[in-house]
Amino acid sequence: MTAALLAIALSAQDLDVALTHRDRAGTAVVDEAAGPEERRAFQALLKESDPLRRRSLASGFLNRYPSSWLYAQAHEAAAMACFDLGDTASGLFHARQSLAVYPENAGLLGTMAAVRFNRGEVAGAKENARRVLELLDRFPHPGDVRDRLRAVALKIDGDAPVVTRGGKREPRSAWAGSAACRECHTQRFDSWRQTGMAKMLAPVDPSAVIGDFTGAFQDRSGAAVRFSRSGPRFFFELRRAGGQWDRYPVDYTIGSKWQQAYATRSPDGGLHVLPVQYSRVEKAWLNYWRVIDPAGSERADPSGFHRFSEVTSYQRNCAPCHTSVTDESGFAEAGVNCEACHGPSAAHAAGTAAARSFTKMDNRQAVEVCAQCHAQSALREPMAFPPRYQRRPYAAFSRKGFYKDGRFRETTFIVEAFERSACYRVGQAHCGSCHDPHPRDPASNPKSLKFAIDDDGMCLQCHAAQYAGARHVRHDPGGAGARCVSCHMPKIMNSLMFQARTHQIDDKPDAAMTARFGSTESPNACLMCHAGKDSAWLSAQLRFWPPRR
């Protein structure tokens, strides 16, 4: 939360650590305040060095601004102040409140682990310590902070597995290309060719173009685009700020299922993404960047497209997840090919045993493969496999990507949401537990679900059948309310102009969070169906279910 030294002496168990939580990247945390009074109150809290006064200011802030974006940070400040004062019980309470919103706070988790260890809560301390080590590997931290946190975590749990980084950079000669897989894996290859993965980028094919190239588009900002077709060729015309029109051919399509974007070659050979996309859901053109970007987004302004700048560059912004075997010079194959998931396979295609197999991976290794593209915060290393990489801190992203209760709002964070779930952290679930990247029915199963007909099967393959019974679901059998996903994977994530299910799978309706932040910033699965009810009704109803664990 601050760059000030947050020290806590833990001499009772010969454990002494000073933990520092660095300033947020990108934008200052205080910029999340809703107004000048809230900003001043939070700044006063940040500047206060006396722990007794800091605890008082934190409590006052939380009472005065209970639905603030800074809820987690204020509880963190209160927790550290309580620890400084020796009030560990209150400190742990505030720490848990903060971590309920932002569970990836390694500094606070490390402090919590040390406190719990000194209190004799060894099992809980070890659980926190292992989580710290995982987060240190995943997110960048200043060297001194990382070293201190790692030392404390390993002292608490010396048996914690040591994370080793893979991801060596492979030469182009190590990659065979998808065509090399077809002869031996014909059925899977043919299925993959029909999936959205194979069509993430493709040379323009009239039969695959979903956009309506017979009209024009203009949004409320005045941005104007005209579309046309001449035989097998498609064109965009974009108007500059001065009124001049520029015409561009569509050379590639991007996407095939719910939305499609279009790219053109610039005179220097670069590939640039046209700013207006066609939504199959809306059956209309839309300026998608204006929908999802913060105000003032440069790439959302079609009038500047003629500059072919970095913000429209396919190579810069899209290539790592829409093409295969990318490096500074370009890409080897359009679309997400076999090796994007299975790794460089030239040696295997020549007759050696496969170097990697999903059947031999643990769930974390398997998820890392999918996270190359399905984790918004991923920082990819070109041509590296297996894909081990760090993530951008969540504070570096616009608040539009999150709800105030801490959950992810955008499907671009779908792996991050899944990694918060107990199914992943405690169990052995991975993306392939529910999805098949080369299904038998790719045309009718665009989400590649293994349990497309009976989605309860996703959960019941691990959980006892009793959880599908009336005693647990408390809804009429066969109705939407009795489905596992209705309560534990509500449709609260923004996708390509439709609502998708959260993948924080053990999500449970939380009346307290909804009461604090409101349904807009803390959507609730129960209230999404029982729209006429409020959080008081919800709180009363939830007493009939077993307590949250």
* Residue count (the chain): 549
Query: Under a CB-based contact definition with an 8 Å cutoff, are residues 46 and 31 in contact?
Result: no
Query: Region 140-152: what's the mean pLDDT?
Result: 90
Query: Under a CB-based contact definition with an 8 Å cutoff, are residues 85 and 56 in contact?
Result: no
pLDDT band at 494 (very low <50, low <70, confident <90, very high): very high
Supply 530's token pair.
């029982």
Residue 26, sorted as left (phi over 0), alpha (psi -120 to 50) or beta, turns out to be left
243-247, 313-317, 470-474, 534-538 — which is least confidently predicted? Answer: 470-474
Query: Region 382-387: what's the mean pLDDT?
Result: 75
Per-residue pLDDT at 40? 94
Domain ranges of the chain: 5-156, 202-317, 390-542
What is the rounded distance in angstroms from the CA atom of residue 308 to the CA atom of residue 310?
A: 7
Q: Taking the model in full, what pTM does it have? A: 0.89
Query: Region 401-421: what's the mean pLDDT?
Result: 94
Write out pLDDT tens, residues 152-170.
999 999 887 766 555 678 8
β-sheet bridge partners, residue 5: 20
What is the rounded distance in angstroms from the CA atom of residue 275 to the CA atom of residue 373?
A: 21
Query: What percent of the chain lies above the pLDDT cut of 70?
Result: 92
Phi, psi of 439 (to 5 degrees): -75, 170
Per-residue pLDDT at 352? 94
Mean pLDDT over the full length of the chain:
88
* Res. 370: pLDDT tops 70: yes
Type of residue found at 105 = N
Query: Region 204-213: what's the mean pLDDT?
Result: 95
Domain 5-156 homologous superfamily, CATH: Tetratricopeptide repeat domain (1.25.40.10)
Angle 381-301-290 from CA coordinates, rounded to 5°: 75
Write out pLDDT tens, residues 11-49.
223 332 223 233 333 346 677 888 999 999 999 998 999
Write out pLDDT tens, residues 450-490.
998 888 999 999 998 888 888 888 888 888 888 999 999 99
Q: Give the Å distances, CA to CA, from 169 to 269, 334, 383, 385.
A: 25, 20, 5, 7
